[in-house]
Amino acid sequence: SAVISQKPSRDICQRGTSLTIQCQVDSQVTMMFWYRQQPGQSLTLIATANQGSEATYESGFVIDKFPISRPNLTFSTLTVSNMSPEDSSIYLCSVGSRRTDTQYFGPGTRLTVL
């Protein structure tokens, strides 16, 4: 399976600011995804990061709040914009294998908004 890294691993931010999270994979992958895991809850898909085109967002998530870039097949960023305390979560990127449909997850970014 691919090795996935995320930066930063954690951050504490002030209300109203923005944070960009990076996801780097050690091999080229077709599918990359961004998830949110709020305290005590399960994973919720934010969007699919598409290489060379706009991300596909799930219901309840919009591009203005969570802009995503995917400049190539090994890298993606998720920005959490105009943050509020409700955005405090773990943000996870994952990559998918078309052959097996299995997704592999990065270590996550723990975000706390004050």
Partner 1 sequence: EDQVTQSPEALRLQEGESSSLNCSYTVSGLRGLFWYRQDPGKGPEFLFTLYSAGEEKEKERLKATLTKKESFLHITAPKPEDSATYLCAVQAITTSGTYKYIFGTGTRLKVLA
Contact residues toward partner 1 (CB under 8 A) are: 1, 4, 41-45, 48, 56, 58, 92, 94, 100-108, 110
Distance in Å, CB of 72 to partner 1, minimum: 22
Nearer Cβ to partner 1, position 48 or 69?
A: 48
Nearer Cβ to partner 1, position 27 or 44?
A: 44
Contact 109, 21 (CB under 8 A): yes
Nearer Cβ to partner 1, position 8 or 16?
A: 8
Distance in Å, CB of 26 to partner 1, minimum: 15
Nearer Cβ to partner 1, position 75 or 104?
A: 104
Distance in Å, CB of 104 to partner 1, minimum: 6
Distance in Å, CB of 42 to partner 1, minimum: 4
Concatenated DSSP letters of the chain: ---EEEE-SEEEE-TT--EEEEEEESS--SEEEEEEE-TTS-EEEEEEE-TTS--EEPTT--TTTS-EEEEETTEEEEEE-S--GGG-EEEEEEEE-TTT--EEE---EEEEE-
